[in-house]
């Protein structure tokens, strides 16, 4: 059996399109592996929600994110990539140190975004953003571990006036700095996704599962997309079930939501698999 890192690299280089669903805790990770996904990622939004925190920069601590990420990586046999937000640090030096800690959790990939968290200047300057990617790549190289580094350009999500052109420029610079996969969240138009694939020198990740984005796997394959993630959408859908079930119980006095539950016996079998005890 090939190791997780080699498997994850192959998924990015074989010319096929794959879906990398996002888990927010060990239980959801095991269920996604059982469903048949070849790789998964964490979702910082989902992890934040599970700790009753909003999906805001700085609210989910790096320590908490590392603890959840390590547990997820430990309970599945498939590759895991960490949603590392902005690397949990502004400077290249802090990104370097934190990436070393991320690699130590057992994940074989991580994404770094160029969102600064500063309302006045929401994107890091291009030169600083590039240096941050170089530092992340250097930390990975120091570990002697095969690893897929994903670089995110947050231009669309921060309202940049020339979002597409700036995104293309940034992710191409990130690729030159060592990024293995490029990600421009916020694009929901298939024509623009096709253009992005043409303009960018590397494998492209797109995020699906957002409401009002009826783009299919077949369309994304045709566009040349390498990887599809779903961000926090599955976690949000789970919380939507809790909300609707609570409303049903309190307003109708019924318990129909329980018809969709998985039995304790089935979950017991799933969560008792040998690899969970290794």
DSSP result, 185-228: TT---HHHHHHHHHH-SS-EEEE---TT----HHHHHHHT--EE
- pLDDT given at position 229: 98
What does the H/E/C string look like for 77-102? CCCEEEECCCCCCCCHHHHHHHHHHH
- What tens digit of pLDDT does each residue of 210-226 get? 877 789 999 999 999 99
* Domains in the chain, number: 1
pLDDT grade for 278, boundaries at 50, 70 and 90: low
- pLDDT given at position 146: 85
Please give the mean pLDDT across all residues of the chain.
95
Task: Identify whether 37 is part of a domain.
Answer: yes
Percent of the chain with pLDDT over 90: 91
Range of the structural domain that residue 116 is part of = 4-242
- pLDDT given at position 182: 98
Task: Identify whether 95 is part of a domain.
Answer: yes
Query: In this model, does residue 81 exceed pLDDT 90?
Result: yes
Task: Identify whether 129 is part of a domain.
Answer: yes
CA 17 from chain centre, in angstroms, equals 16
The Cβ of residue 70 has, within 10 Å, a number of other Cβ atoms equal to 19
Look up residue 164 and give its two tokens.
């597409």
206: β partners: 228
Query: In this model, does residue 252 exceed pLDDT 80?
Result: yes
Query: In this model, does residue 119 exceed pLDDT 60?
Result: yes
CA distance 184 to 237: 23
SS3 2: coil
Mean pLDDT, residues 115-136 taken together: 97
Task: Identify whether 198 is part of a domain.
Answer: yes
- What tens digit of pLDDT does each residue of 21-64 get? 999 999 999 999 999 999 999 999 999 999 999 998 779 999 99
Task: Identify whether 267 is part of a domain.
Answer: no
Cβ neighbors of 142 (< 8 A, separation 6 or more) are: 100
In this structure, are strands 148-152 and 109-113 parallel, antiparallel, or unpaired?
parallel
Percent of the chain with pLDDT over 70: 98
CA distance 71 to 91: 27
CA atoms within 13 A on the CB side of 90: 10
Task: Identify whether 140 is part of a domain.
Answer: yes
Task: Identify whether 276 is part of a domain.
Answer: no
Query: In this model, does residue 144 exceed pLDDT 80?
Result: no
Transcribe 9-36 into DSSP letters. Answer: HHHHHSS--EEEEEESSHHHHHHHHHHT
Task: Identify whether 205 is part of a domain.
Answer: yes
Question: What's this model's pTM, rounded to 2 decimal places?
Answer: 0.95
| Lookup result for tokens 């090939």 | 2
- What tens digit of pLDDT does each residue of 149-191 get? 999 999 999 999 999 999 999 999 999 999 999 999 999 899 9
CATH number for 9: 3.20.20.60
């Amino acid at each position: 059996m090939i190791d997780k890192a080699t498997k994850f690299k192959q998924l990015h280089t074989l010319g096929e399109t794959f879906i990398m669903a996002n888990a927010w805790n060990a239980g959801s990770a095991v269920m996604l592996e059982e469903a048949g996904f070849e790789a998964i990622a964490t979702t910082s939004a989902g992890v934040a929600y599970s700790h009753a925190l909003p999906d805001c920069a700085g609210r989910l601590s790096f320590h908490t994110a590392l603890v959840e990420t390590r547990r997820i990586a430990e309970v599945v046999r498939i590759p895991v990539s960490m949603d590392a937000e902005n690397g949990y640090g502004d400077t290249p030096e802090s990104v370097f140190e934190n990436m070393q800690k991320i690699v130590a959790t057992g994940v074989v990939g991580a994404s770094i975004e160029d969102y600064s968290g500063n309302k006045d200047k929401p994107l890091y300057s291009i030169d600083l953003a590039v240096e941050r990617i170089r530092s992340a790549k250097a930390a990975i190289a120091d570990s002697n571990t095969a690893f897929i580094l994903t670089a995110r350009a947050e231009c669309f999500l921060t309202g940049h006036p020339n979002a597409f052109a700036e995104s293309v420029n940034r992710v191409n610079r990130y690729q030159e700095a060592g990024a293995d996969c490029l990600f421009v969240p916020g694009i929901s138009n298939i024509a623009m996704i096709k253009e992005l694939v043409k303009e960018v020198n590397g494998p492209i990740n797109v995020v699906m599962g957002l409401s009002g984005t009826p783009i299919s796997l077949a369309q994304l394959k045709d566009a040349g997309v390498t990887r599809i993630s779903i961000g926090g959408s599955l976690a949000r859908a789970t919380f939507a079930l809790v909300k609707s079930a609570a409303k049903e119980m309190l307003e109708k006095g019924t318990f129909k939501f329980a018809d969709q539950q998985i039995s304790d016996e089935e979950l017991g079998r799933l969560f008792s698999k040998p690899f969970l005890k290794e």
